[in-house]
Amino acid sequence: MLDYEIGPSQAAALLGENQARLLDVREPWEFAWAHVEGSLHIPMGDLPVRAARELDPAERLLVLCHHGIRSLNVTAWLRRQGFAQAQSVGGGIDAWSLEVDPTVPRY
């Protein structure tokens, strides 16, 4: 079984090889302020309604929030729903900006 968390650099490598999908669970204003191009935006509160119809349980999902706390909670919830390959991006978009892409604004 995969670890619950993955580092931003590891996540970026998987995304670059089309081996995963980035799921951003932040609020709309946060996503508008800063996001990773190509990510799927489903706010945390919308997931219970949208997950079953918009996400594939067989797909590797990398869950992103601001600092990694919400995404870890979402990852645990997704795994309980059958999304066994869900992982939280440790440190969130803040760490992504520091480690992977400094053009992503920090807030």
Residue 73 is a catalytic residue: no
How many C-beta atoms surround the C-beta of residue 68 within 10 A? 21
Which residue among the candidates 65, 78, 86, 95 is catalytic per the annotation?
65
Which residues are known catalytic residues? 65
